[in-house]
Amino acid sequence: MLCLLEHEPMKYRVFVHILVYSGLRRGEMLGLEWKDIDFENCVITIRRTSNYTGKRGNYTDQTKTRKSRRALKLPQHIMELLQTFRAEQDDHALKCGDQWVETDRLFTKWNGEPMYNGQPYSWLKDFCKRNELPFYGIHAFRHTYASILVNQGVDIVAVSFSLGHSQVSTTSNIYCHMLDNARAKAANAISSVLDTDSGFDAQISK
């Protein structure tokens, strides 16, 4: 999927790449501001959410829970993509002149105001249709991110922190089936090495 993003608007390329590598909630994504990006250390900090209701319109709120306020490490190539995006946004702001509303947000409408929550969803649905891809919604990226961590044997406490869950038990309950599979794979891996005398002796001798 990522290779198909090359000709999409930069803001959506960045949006999807961050989703894939961070598992953020949609509101957390839309709440990101440039001050939250530490380019030197390749870290993004989640401090707020951007939400929408018919009564209030777009509004900024606190994160879902206290533990949802967190800092995540991202690969260098994502930071490079963000730098390109920032330069493009700065250039666009200059062209807009006094029509540009400075909010410091990464993801904005044409005039700098916070992007509507439904906009990434609509774009993704259209993107999947144009490229004949199944559409599972934005939250599917979060589940994919968590599934990869679990299947790679990342400690459940670390997975829970990355997802911003208030309790580790929440993470365990959601991904219990995958955790069982990961534990089974770990047991099989040990058995494949140690369940013979020669295998056990070889490991002990190292």
> What are the C-alpha distances in Å from 139 to residues 11, 86, 95?
18, 25, 34
Average pLDDT, the chain: 87
- The whole-number pLDDT of residue 204 equals 44
pLDDT tier for residue 148 given thresholds of 50, 70 and 90: confident
pLDDT for 128 beyond 90: yes
- The whole-number pLDDT of residue 106 equals 98
pTM for this predicted structure: 0.82
* pLDDT tens-digit readout, 35-65: 999 999 999 999 999 998 888 888 999 988 8
Arithmetic mean of pLDDT, 126-144: 92
Residue ranges, CATH 1.10.443.10, the chain: 2-137
| Closest CA relative to residue 174, chosen from 184, 187, 160, 186 | 160
2-137 folds as hpI Integrase; Chain A (1.10.443)
- The whole-number pLDDT of residue 99 equals 97
* pLDDT tens-digit readout, 21-34: 999 999 999 999 99
- The whole-number pLDDT of residue 173 equals 78
Percent of the chain exceeding pLDDT 90 equals 59
Q: Are strands 43-46 and 70-73 parallel, antiparallel or unpaired?
A: antiparallel
| CA atoms in the 13 A half-sphere facing the CB of 190 | 5
pLDDT tier for residue 183 given thresholds of 50, 70 and 90: low
Give 148-175 as a DSSP string.
HHHHTT--HHHHHHHHT-S-HHHHHHHT
Identify any residues that bridge with 52 across adjacent strands, giving them in sequence order.
58
